[in-house]
């Protein structure tokens, strides 16, 4: 029987089945500077970490991006960073601390270090863990108690998800990228449209994406409720992973690539649901509301709740417009913004910074704008290319790596009432700080907003 890529990975990692659940072997476990409940589970059970060599910790949520050392941070953040440092040292887990050249956002660090590999199972106590599916991994976000179980056993009990294939065919128009594709998919499926499914992104437009673009696409799958997401590994994947610190080398590399070539879904493999999207219909996309599925092309207008297809959406749209202080019929292209944020596990990679820098070069920021690289490695690479000078010359703030203004747990906040064009993944009420108003955009659109002071179709700037 033809198998999907998900089914191949699931079967090869299934240890046991009981009462409708499967016990899966976990290849990689990522940890962050969040609640330490996961280690309390170990202490309560009186056990240690089963495979510290397959466990990797980094600090990203609580770190300061303005260079403030951990000891000078507020008590809560200081304790969170100290806890993961102490627990990692106690259990022999590799820790990428604030001064470590490997430090960064966990979903940026995993792929760039070659820890995330095709065909592996990956878990982390973070909802955007499906990001790692961009290299062909099966990656899940899990809770703290489940993390404790993985730490103790290197396995996880799970209900088998359903499968969905989202096929994006054709070619993206000029100036349209992975973030636009991802937002368009979320808008098409809805906030819960992929709930309970593992999504496989396929089609010529997906195959044409870089690995960094695929990571962005899988990252946003969380916002339509997907349990996980993935893109089949191919020559683009292998070229990206070759020579990274944790990838196999020599003969082991050749054997690994041979295995990875067998991962893509077989011809004729059945999915529980199929969705087809024409890439040519995707444009630079922005969010207008308070959910990532409330998106439209930059050429669109703020929708009228009275035109919503049902009462539930009418109510949701009214609430969104009230919070965002927008009026129906307002063109999205031209809405003033108060600040711009470029970074996060969605768009903090070197490809994202290059895209933004191309729009910024030779221009000046009209509003406060920050660039926060997704990792220390990205920051170093950007500085080697002179991107930091491009941003600084334009009046942007060039900051240290971390989650920063995406999640607002670290002192990096949007002021109440301010409108922010942001390359992050969520525009929930208060996501970037109490009273903040977030418009989700691509790095190029964010750069255009920074230099014009309003949501702008960046293609006009690119054309001069």
Is residue 251 domain-shared with residue 201, that is, in the same domain? yes
Model pLDDT for residues 100-139, shown as the tens digit of each residue: 999 999 999 999 999 999 999 999 999 999 999 999 999 9
Is residue 157 domain-shared with residue 299, that is, in the same domain? no
Closest CA to 348 of 404, 432, 414: 404
Please tell me the predicted confidence (pLDDT) of residue 317: 98
Domain for residue 431, yes or no?
A: yes
Q: Which residue has the tokens 């128009």?
A: 173
Is residue 391 domain-shared with residue 443, that is, in the same domain? yes
pLDDT of residue 454 exceeding 90: yes
Is residue 22 domain-shared with residue 122, that is, in the same domain? yes
Query: What domain count does the chain have?
Result: 2
Is residue 249 domain-shared with residue 362, that is, in the same domain? no
3-state secondary structure 93-107: CEEECCCCCCCECHH
Is residue 125 domain-shared with residue 188, that is, in the same domain? yes
Question: Do the Cβ atoms of 331 and 321 come closer than 8 Å?
Answer: no
Please tell me the predicted confidence (pLDDT) of residue 137: 98
Is residue 107 domain-shared with residue 137, that is, in the same domain? yes
Please tell me the predicted confidence (pLDDT) of residue 34: 85
Is residue 216 domain-shared with residue 311, that is, in the same domain? no
Is residue 126 domain-shared with residue 255, that is, in the same domain? yes
What are the C-alpha distances in Å from 362 to residues 358, 378, 442? 9, 22, 20
Round to whole Å and give the CA distance between 199 and 218: 9
Domain for residue 280, yes or no?
A: no
Is residue 193 domain-shared with residue 139, that is, in the same domain? yes
Element (H, E) at 339: strand 339-343
Is residue 181 domain-shared with residue 313, that is, in the same domain? no
What CATH number is attached to the domain comprising 361? 3.30.499.10
Domain for residue 98, yes or no?
A: yes
What are the C-alpha distances in Å from 172 to residues 5, 319, 443? 25, 33, 16
Task: Kindly tell me the sign of the dihedral angle through the C-alpha atoms of 190, 422, 454, 282.
Answer: negative
Q: Which residue, 248, 273, 298, sits at the end of a domain? A: 273
Is residue 173 domain-shared with residue 47, that is, in the same domain? yes
Model pLDDT for residues 10-20, shown as the tens digit of each residue: 999 999 999 99
Round to whole Å and give the CA distance between 204 and 193: 23
Which DSSP string do the residues of 213-250 spell out, in sequence order? HHHHHHHHGGGGT-SEEEE---HHHHHHHTT-TTS--T
- Backbone phi and psi for residue 223, each to the nearest 5 degrees, phi listed first: -80, -5
Q: Which residue, 273, 300, 330, sits at the end of a domain? A: 273
Show the tokens assigned to 300: 């669109």
Show the tokens assigned to 232: 């089949």
Going by C-beta distance under 8 Å and a sequence separation of 6 or more, which residues neighbour residue 84?
31, 32, 33, 36, 57, 59, 95
pLDDT of residue 464 exceeding 90: no
Closest CA to 232 of 264, 185, 190: 264
Domain for residue 160, yes or no?
A: yes
Percent of the chain with pLDDT over 90: 98
Q: Which residue, 208, 243, 273, sits at the end of a domain? A: 273
Domain for residue 279, yes or no?
A: no
Model pLDDT for residues 225-246, shown as the tens digit of each residue: 999 999 999 999 999 999 999 9
Round to whole Å and give the CA distance between 135 and 15: 24
Domain for residue 278, yes or no?
A: no
- How many residues would you count in the chain? 464
Domain for residue 291, yes or no?
A: yes
Question: Range of 70's domain?
Answer: 5-273
Domain for residue 116, yes or no?
A: yes
Model pLDDT for residues 47-67, shown as the tens digit of each residue: 999 999 999 999 999 999 999
What are the C-alpha distances in Å from 317 to residues 180, 287, 323, 333, 434? 21, 12, 10, 19, 20
């Amino acid at each position: 029987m033809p198998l999907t890529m998900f089914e191949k990975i699931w079967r090869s990692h299934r240890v046991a089945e009981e009462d409708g659940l499967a016990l899966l072997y976990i290849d990689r476990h990522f940890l962050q500077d969040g609640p330490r409940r996961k280690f309390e589970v170990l202490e309560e059970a009186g056990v240690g970490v089963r495979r510290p060599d397959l466990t990797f910790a980094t600090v990203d949520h609580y770190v300061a991006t303005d260079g403030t050392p951990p000891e000078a941070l507020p008590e809560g953040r200081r304790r969170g960073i100290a806890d993961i440092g102490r627990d990692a040292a106690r259990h022999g887990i590799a820790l990428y601390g604030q001064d470590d050249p490997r430090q960064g956002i966990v979903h940026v660090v995993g792929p760039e270090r070659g820890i995330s590999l095709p065909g592996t199972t990956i878990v982390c106590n973070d909802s955007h863990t499906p990001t790692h599916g961009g290299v062909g991994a099966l990656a899940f976000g899990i809770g703290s108690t489940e993390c404790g179980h993985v730490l103790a056993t290197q396995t996880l009990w799970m209900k088998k998800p359903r499968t969905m294939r989202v096929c994006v065919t054709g070619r993206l128009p000029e100036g349209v990228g992975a973030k636009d594709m991802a937002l368009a998919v979320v808008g098409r499926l809805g906030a819960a449209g992929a709930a309970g499914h593992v999504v496989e992104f396929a089609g010529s437009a997906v195959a044409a994406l870089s690995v960094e673009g695929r990571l962005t696409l899988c990252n946003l799958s969380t916002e339509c409720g997907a349990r996980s997401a993935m893109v089949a590994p191919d020559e683009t994947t292998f070229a990206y992973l070759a020579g990274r610190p944790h990838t196999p080398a020599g003969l082991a590399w050749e054997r690994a690539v041979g295995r990875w070539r067998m991962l893509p879904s077989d011809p004729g493999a059945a999915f529980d649901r199929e969705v087809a999207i024409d890439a040519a219909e995707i444009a630079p996309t922005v969010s207008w509301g308070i959910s990532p599925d409330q998106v439209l092309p930059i050429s669109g207008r703020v929708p009228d709740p009275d035109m919503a297809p049902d009462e539930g959406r009418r109510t949701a749209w009214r609430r969104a417009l009230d919070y965002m202080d927008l009026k129906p019929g307002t063109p999205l292209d031209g809405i003033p913004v108060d600040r711009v944020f470029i970074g996060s596990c969605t768009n903090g990679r070197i490809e994202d910074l290059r895209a933004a820098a191309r729009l910024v070069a030779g221009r000046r920021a009209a509003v406060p704008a920050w660039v926060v690289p997704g990792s220390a490695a990205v920051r170093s690479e950007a500085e080697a290319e002179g991107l930091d000078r491009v941003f600084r010359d334009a009046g942007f703030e060039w900051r240290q790596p971390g989650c920063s203004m995406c999640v607002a747990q670290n002192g990096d906040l949007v002021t109440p009432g301010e409108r922010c064009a942001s390359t992050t993944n969520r525009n929930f009420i208060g996501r970037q700080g109490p009273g903040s108003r977030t418009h989700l955009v691509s790095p190029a659109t964010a750069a255009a907003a920074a230099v014009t002071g309003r949501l702008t179709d960046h293609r006009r700037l690119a054309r001069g």
